[in-house]
């Protein structure tokens, strides 16, 4: 889906007001669900969540934390719902067998690096991961899922979008009020500049970490090259900004709905437009896994990575969790 235009901005206009009774019911339902206790896993559970619907960079953060714990010798498994996929799980993701229609695009990105599980029931997914040898679990999303207790929750915030108009679904993009999400988080992570004054909406005692998305090494190869950029992610502007930062010349661009299921017709149109513009067709790694396999060799992928302002602060949050994991000598 595409987010309604009124979800951003100051929250004014008639639509948020008309939808406010439904938003109140949505918020109360979420609060009631979150009041239920979850299963306490015998291994550390870290959640990379957010307060809004749509992308905030959670998968990139989860990958980064998985690498940091992995560097300490911890056997990390990823856990997520598998949004966009038809399987409910618990199931371990196998990139050789599963595609995005089965497990969702984020699951394939995570599974390319470490064991990854999808499960609508996160507690059941965690139990399956632990039985398979997980010494720590990193959740991609799940801050509003009560079935599994978290030892560390990060409230991930896209600095450009922030909390949108500050209203709860469907009046705005919030899954729950900001205060409720912040109360269950041990720290907030702001990605990019705080263009929307999001930090002012957080409790003053909540620690705030900062990072930004920077182009991966592959992006340097596009410097000075004309590109036709296309993507189906929650924040297309971030992808286009990454390309510009890398020095690529955007000859054309196309934004699809988040998690858009590309088919052969879409790719034929995209490649034809790129050829007309004499440009290189480029997309994100997340979109690439949703492209029909027959067309992937003709599309260039641009990756991003997380660059922390102070990585030591993140490591300090991980210290007590990693200390609970028995690491073989």
Pairwise pLDDT comparison (60 vs 219), residue with the higher score: 60
Q: Please give the Cα distance from 166 to 164 (Å, whole number).
A: 5
Tens of pLDDT along 50-88? 999 877 789 999 999 999 999 999 999 999 999 889 999
Beta bridge partners of 137: 45, 77
Q: Please give the Cα distance from 103 to 98 (Å, whole number).
A: 7
pLDDT value at position 232? 92
pLDDT value at position 259? 87
Q: What percent of the chain has pLDDT over 90?
A: 79
Tens of pLDDT along 285-294? 999 999 999 9
Q: Please give the Cα distance from 105 to 80 (Å, whole number).
A: 11
Q: Please give the Cα distance from 280 to 228 (Å, whole number).
A: 6
Number of H helices, E strands in the chain: 11, 13
Instruction: Say if residue 16's pLDDT is above 90.
Output: no
**Mean per-residue pLDDT, 175-201:** 95
Nearest CA to 164 out of 284, 308, 55 is that of 55
**Residue 204 — pLDDT band, cuts 50, 70, 90?**
very high
Q: How, if at all, do strands 226-231 and 187-191 pair? A: unpaired
Q: Report whether the peptide linkage leading into residue 90 is cis, meaning its omega lies within 30 degrees of zero.
A: yes
- Is residue 222 within 8 Å of residue 302, measured between CB atoms? yes
pLDDT value at position 23? 93
Question: What is the residue-wise DSSP string for 121-190?
Answer: SHHHHHHHHHHTT-SEEEEES-TT--SB--SEEEEEEETTTTTTTS-BTTTSSBSS-HHHHHHT-SEEEE
pLDDT value at position 328? 56
Q: Please give the Cα distance from 287 to 19 (Å, whole number).
A: 32
Q: What pTM does this model have?
A: 0.90
Q: What share of the chain is helix, strand, coil (3-state, %, to 5)?
A: 35, 20, 40
Nearest CA to 214 out of 196, 186, 179, 238 is that of 238
Tens of pLDDT along 252-278? 999 998 889 999 999 999 999 999 999
Instruction: Say if residue 146's pLDDT is above 70.
Output: yes
Q: Please give the Cα distance from 231 to 286 (Å, whole number).
A: 9
Tens of pLDDT along 94-130? 999 999 899 999 999 999 999 999 999 999 999 999 9
Q: What percent of the chain has pLDDT over 70?
A: 97
Element (H or E) spanning 307, and its range? strand 304-308
pLDDT value at position 327? 58
- Is residue 261 within 8 Å of residue 290, measured between CB atoms? yes
- Is residue 217 within 8 Å of residue 248, measured between CB atoms? no
**Mean per-residue pLDDT, 13-31:** 91
pLDDT value at position 12? 65
**Mean per-residue pLDDT, 197-218:** 93
């Amino acid at each position: 889906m595409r987010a309604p235009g009124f979800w951003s901005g100051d929250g004014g206009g008639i639509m948020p007001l008309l939808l406010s009774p439904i938003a109140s019911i949505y918020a109360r339902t979420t609060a009631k669900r979150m009041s239920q206790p979850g299963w306490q896993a015998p291994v550390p559970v870290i959640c990379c969540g957010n307060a809004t619907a749509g992308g905030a960079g959670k998968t990139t953060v989860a990958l980064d934390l998985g690498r940091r714990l992995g560097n300490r010798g911890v056997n990390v498994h990823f856990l997520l719902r598998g949004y966009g996929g038809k399987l409910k799980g618990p199931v371990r993701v196998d990139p050789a067998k599963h595609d995005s229609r089965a497990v969702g695009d984020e699951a394939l990105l995570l599974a390319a690096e470490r064991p990854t599980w999808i499960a609508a029931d996160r507690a059941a997914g965690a139990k399956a991961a632990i039985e398979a040898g997980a010494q720590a679990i990193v959740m991609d999303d799940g801050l509003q899922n009560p079935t599994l207790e978290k030892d560390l929750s990060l409230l991930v915030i896209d600095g450009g979008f922030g909390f949108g108009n500050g209203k709860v679904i469907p009046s705005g993009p919030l899954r729950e009020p900001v205060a409720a999400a912040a109360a269950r988080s041990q720290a907030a992570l702001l990605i990019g500049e705080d263009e929307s004054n999001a930090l002012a909406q957080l409790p003053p005692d909540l620690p705030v970490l900062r990072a930004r998305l920077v182009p991966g090494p592959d992006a340097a190869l596009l410097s000075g090259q004309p590109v036709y950029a296309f993507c189906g992610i929650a924040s297309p502007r971030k992808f286009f900004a990454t390309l510009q930062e890398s020095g690529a010349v955007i000859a054309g661009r196309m934004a699809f709905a988040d998690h858009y299921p590309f088919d052969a017709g879409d790719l034929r149109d995209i490649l034809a437009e790129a050829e007309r513009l004499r440009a290189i067709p480029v997309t994100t790694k997340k979109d690439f896994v949703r492209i029909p396999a027959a067309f992937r060799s003709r599309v260039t992928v641009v990756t991003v990575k997380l660059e922390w302002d102070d990585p030591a602060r993140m490591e300090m949050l991980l210290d007590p969790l990693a200390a609970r994991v028995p690491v073989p000598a």
